[in-house]
Amino acid sequence: MLCVKCKGKGYCGKQSCPLLNNIYKSKFKEILKYLPEIKNEVFGNSASFLVGRVNYPNVFLSPLVGSFEDAENLYGLKKEEILKIRLNLFSPRIRVNAHRITPLVEKLQEIAMSIKPVDSEVEFYNKPKLLLPFFNDIPPIGPVGNLKRLNYDNPKIPQIVDKVADDYSIEGVLKIYKRFDEVYASRLFSCGVLGKEKKLVPTRWAITAVDDIVGKSFIKKIRDYKVLDEPLKFENHYLGNKFEIYFLPKPWSFKLIETYKSGCIWNKSNKDITVSDSEIKGRKKYANNTGGAYYAARLAVLEKLNKMKRQATVVVKRTVKKDYDIPLGVWVVREGVRKALAKRPLKIAESEIKNLNIQRTLDEYINLNKISD
């Protein structure tokens, strides 16, 4: 149960996650197939950006340089294709204090602010090495080394970035999300561009923070919408994840239920493990049981409700199967739910809802209907 809740965050007190290390060792031969030629100098596109979490506020900062321009929008690709793209991203890093925006940090910020990949030339002090490439919240990364020299072409920075840079961080995030998307907003939030007090934010924290900020802005709107007329079900399967989303005709509330099948990525026990988090009026504390997946799924749901101009009680069921054997990032949840909600909805029979007896929210809906009948 602890591993299912932790997912590599270090709740067990160990500096390095044993499960992630085991995945790395067991998949090493497969990983070798996708690795690029490793050398001290690299030419490519700076297509992503990473701020580390360990030893915060003294963290590693790195543009990710590779041969793929679209290294962040991965939905629809097979696992092998995702690994090839992400493991070919070199990570030239420097150690910085998250609260000090030095001239070198400002140069790297320019790359992060570019809306399009930036042609870059990187030199490492030593030949980069493949360290543990897997995390739960972000996609894999390739070889890592200490940055010696970096040259890059002019980044293409949208004018709106300069306009919102000195806004409060929440306002800036919302304006960037509305103009672009949550991926670009989280990159700007992470690299310390947004907010009155400039500071770097670890990428994993920034992704969840942006999902939460945008989600809360939607909640304020949908509470004024009419309640959904009838229950609906949406479903999607992707990379060993099954998503079932239930929209029920009740005022806004949300619940994420994650079931990790025995033997899957985070559950090495001999029985399935189910965890959940929920809210009625809103969450004040972090969703410790389901983590970043909670905010990613909630954002996708709220986008759909806002588009429908309706509010509803929503239950998302995520089932993680054995074939999800490498963590690929929390984007899998956000995009998996989005794609489910883009499909034609199915009407739900009462008998189907009754069979979901572990979902108290759904049971309450049935009981309320019986009382009103």
In this prediction, residue 132 carries a pLDDT of: 87
Residue 221, domain member (yes or no)? no
Domain co-membership, 273 together with 198 = no
- Residue 239 and residue 200 in one domain: no
Measured CA to CA, the distance from residue 355 to residue 41 in angstroms comes to: 58
Residue reference for tokens 């949300």: 254
Question: Is residue 10 in some structural domain?
Answer: no
Taking only the tens place, the pLDDT of each residue in 275-322 is 999 999 778 899 999 999 999 999 999 999 999 999 999 999 999 999
Q: Are residues 82 and 145 in the same domain?
A: yes
Residues 207 and 233 in one domain: no
Judgement on whether residues 236 and 303 belong to the same structural domain of the protein: yes
Query: What is the C-alpha to C-alpha distance for residues 300 and 281, in angstroms, rounded to an integer?
Result: 18
% of the chain at pLDDT higher than 70? 93
**Six-digit token pair at 201?**
């934010």
Residue 195 has pLDDT above 70, yes or no: yes
**What is the pLDDT confidence band of residue 167, given thresholds at 50, 70 and 90?**
confident
List, for residues 222-242, the tens digit of each pLDDT value: 999 999 998 999 999 999 999
Q: How far apart are the first and last CA of the chain?
A: 41
* Whether residues 110 and 240 fall in one domain: no
In this structure, the answer to whether residues 242 and 269 fall within a common structural domain is yes
**What is the reported pLDDT for 353?**
64
| Residue 306: inside a domain | yes
In a domain, residue 172? The reply is yes
Pick the closest to residue 64 from 127, 143, 126, 1 (CA basis).
143
Mean pLDDT over 194-219 rounds to 95
Whether residues 43 and 192 share a domain: the answer is yes
pLDDT tens-digit map of 50-78: 999 989 999 999 999 998 888 888 999 99
70 domain-assigned: yes
Q: What is the pLDDT of residue 250?
A: 93
CA–CA distance, 276 with 28 (Å, rounded to integer): 32
Instruction: Report CA Rg, the chain.
Output: 21
Task: Specify the higher pLDDT residue, 238 or 30.
Answer: 238
Check pLDDT > 70 for residue 168. yes
- Beta-strand ranges (E) seen in the chain are 41-51, 58-66, 91-97, 118-124, 144-152, 226-227, 232-238, 241-248, 253-260, 273-279, 310-311, 313-320, 346-347
Query: 366: pLDDT confidence band, cut at 50, 70 and 90?
Result: very low
79 within domain boundaries: yes
Q: Are residues 192 and 239 in the same domain?
A: no
Final residue of a structural domain among 161, 178, 211? 211
Q: Per-residue pLDDT for 364 more than 70?
A: no
The count of structural domains within the chain is 2
In a shared domain, residues 195 and 236: no
pLDDT tens-digit map of 312-362: 999 999 999 999 999 999 999 999 999 999 999 987 776 766 655 434 555
| Domain termination residue (choose one: 185, 211, 237) | 211
Query: Which residue range(s) make up the domain with 316?
Result: 226-372
Asked if residue 102 is part of any domain, the answer here is yes
* Same domain as 264, residue 195: no
Domain contains 21: no
Do 117 and 58 sit in the same domain of this protein?
Answer: yes
Q: For residue 213, is pLDDT > 90?
A: yes
The residue among 211, 240, 269 that closes a domain is 211
Other C-beta atoms lying within 10 Å of the C-beta of residue 238 = 17
Question: What pLDDT is recorded for position 70?
Answer: 83
Output the pLDDT for position 111: 93
Residue 40 above 90 pLDDT? yes
